[in-house]
Amino acid sequence: MAVDAAFETPSPPFYSPSSHFSPQRHFYLAVDRHQFKMETLMDLLGVAGRRPGLPMVVCCSSRDELDAVSSAVANVPYISLASLYTDLAEADRSLILEHFRQATMRWNPEVSAQSAVDNESVKDEQKSHMIVATDACLPLLPSGESPIAARVLINYELPTKKETYARRMTTCLAADGIVINMVVGGEVVTLKSLEESSNLVIAEMPIHFDSLKNQNGKVMAGDLPPLMVKLKAFIEMYSEEEILSGLDSDVSDKIDLNPSLR
């Protein structure tokens, strides 16, 4: 089944967000309290991260939150994780960015069909790919670094300025990508301000994880296939009906159905 291409010609460094990104592809995920934020992120990654080859970027505003996210995701077996730090050696930074760009190209089926794939690449594609970065570590377009064109951009910490929101999109998101903003209580005002000043429509994410948890607070393996169908439809812009009709009936075969996500 052909999916939307996730790697396209990079956009110019400076632009009006509304002219390059569909308003329907900006979403928010509400979190009741700050202490539940990491748990909610892990619930999201516990489903999205199981999509083989999916390129994702998680943006934080502070080094402390970057460290917290990196620590939480480090041992997740189905996510290939890389963290960008300000004190990272230039060679290491370049290697991380290039590896992620290759992952975005493999996500594009047309590019994959034209490329020779070795055993290591096949093994690598069984995992999703994720970069965690602060705003200070995003690709420097004016210095010649290329955007990394992720399919999904998760704003773990919501930026307070539209310029920061726009820069995250410019440097991290594919032209047909999806932004998921994690919003805690009092940040609704900030979200509305970003929405109005950037001329965007940021809709509530149509997938709710809390309703799928059991009494122990876990999303059970039996819920993963239908949830994967919903998320696959969400990420790849297909309807659930199209996927359920058999165009991609092997979704559950691609998932390691452990008793719980964590």
Give the least confident one: 89-93, 97-101, 147-151, 205-209.
205-209
Q: How many angstroms from the chain centroid is the CA of residue 142?
A: 24
CA 228 to chain centre: 15
pLDDT at 54: 92
Would strands 79-84 and 128-134 be described as parallel, antiparallel, or unpaired?
A: parallel
Q: What's residue 85's pLDDT?
A: 92
Rounded Cα distance between 52 and 92, Å, is: 24
Count of C-beta atoms within a 10 Å radius of residue 190: 15
- With cut-offs at 50, 70 and 90, classify the pLDDT of residue 62: very high
pLDDT of 152 reads 93
Contact 156, 59 (CB under 8 A): yes
27-41, 156-170, 227-241: range with highest mean pLDDT: 156-170
Q: For the chain, give the number of residues.
A: 262
Candidate ranges 15-29, 68-82, 190-204, 218-232; pick with highest mean pLDDT: 68-82
Give how far Cα 120 sits from Cα of 116, 127, 199, Å. Answer: 11, 12, 43
Percent of the chain predicted with pLDDT > 70 = 63
Q: What is the percent of the chain where pLDDT is above 90? A: 42
* Dihedral sign of CA atoms 4, 209, 42, 58 in order: positive
Mean pLDDT computed over 83-88: 93
Q: Return the exposure string of 227-238: e unless at least 16 CB atoms fall within 10 Å of the residue's CB, then b.
A: bbbebbbbbbeb
Q: Which domains does the chain have, with CATH numbers?
A: 21-211 (3.40.50.300)
pLDDT digits over 194-230, tens only? 999 988 888 887 765 544 444 444 444 444 455 555 5
Judged against a pLDDT cut of 80, whether residue 140 lies above it is answered with yes
How confident is the model at residue 126, as a pLDDT?
81
What pLDDT score was predicted for residue 208? Answer: 56
Structure tokens at 169: 């999109």
Of residues 119 and 58, the one with the higher pLDDT is 58
pLDDT(119) > 90: no
More reliable by pLDDT, 109 or 250: 109
